[in-house]
Amino acid sequence: THEGKLARVTGHGPFGLTVFDCLVAEKAFYLFIPSHNAVYVTSINDKFRNGKKISSLINEASCLLNPWSVVETQNVEVAPCKKEGDFKDYEKPVCISFFHQGRPGWAEFDRYTLSPISLENPELQVLYDDPVLLGDCAPYPSKIWMKLKKLHLEMKIALKDIQPGSLTPEDPVFDPTPYFNQPLRPLMLLLDSLR
């Protein structure tokens, strides 16, 4: 990602085969699914059928990949952890409650390293694991488990070769031109087929 405005995420399956390739550009969202032989595209200002903007989903995904950003949301405060009794005093995580886009959320961080442990709101539950050191940065999780509650969808993400701060907006990884060699379809076609 670059400053939460541009993002490129590629999902690989067995044997390194690309399952999906997603690009969030300045004005559009592209999702290439090789098995469909198509790129699904939408404006980031478009809305889902429930009225939620694509850009708000992008903001939530950004929060998922940068859980420390919760400290920049509304009504942030250190709060008692839900399962505080399960920990010895020196093991207790730092728990934060916050409001983001009008909804409450909770986050847990390791008391000593500030590595994220979990993030949750009414629509999403995320667990972070296997933190790796990234230079001078806080340890970053190499494994992420995510559950989208309303969709009953679970994902496990394993990150490899994490390189913070290595991209600029001009980097070719953010150029959508290669997508234009594939058939373009509206993203809503894909979403409607999932219902």
Percentage of the chain modeled with pLDDT above 70: 89
Average pLDDT for residues 48-72, to the nearest whole number? Answer: 78
Query: Strand 28-33 and strand 184-186: pairing?
Result: unpaired
Residues 6+ apart with CB under 8 A from 43: 27, 28, 29, 54
More confident residue, 125 or 91: 125
- pLDDT above 60 (res 4): no
Residues in Cβ contact with 1 at an 8 Å cutoff, skipping those fewer than 6 apart: 7, 8, 62, 65, 66, 167
Which pLDDT score is estimated for 103? 82
Q: Per-residue pLDDT for 41 more than 90?
A: yes
Look up the pTM and report it: 0.72
Structurally, what CATH architecture does the domain formed by 7-193 represent? Clam (2.50)
pLDDT of residue 25: 85
pLDDT band with cut points at 50, 70 and 90 for residue 30: very high
Predicted pLDDT of residue 1? 45
Nearest to 24 by CA among 41, 39, 8: 8
- For residue 65, count other CB atoms closer than 10 A to its CB: 17
43-57, 82-96, 106-120, 142-156: range with highest mean pLDDT: 106-120
Q: What angle (nearest 5°) sits at the alpha carbon of residue 36, between those of residues 29 and 26?
A: 10
pLDDT in tens, 96-154: 898 877 788 899 998 888 889 999 988 889 999 999 887 777 788 989 999 877 767 78
> What mean pLDDT comes out for the span 21-39?
90
Question: How does residue 2 score in pLDDT terms, banded at 50, 70 and 90?
Answer: very low
Mean pLDDT of 8-36: 87
Average per-residue pLDDT in the chain? Answer: 82
**Interval 78-107 mean pLDDT:** 78
Sorting pLDDT into bands at 50, 70 and 90, what band is 38?
A: very high
Q: Identify the pLDDT of residue 126.
A: 93
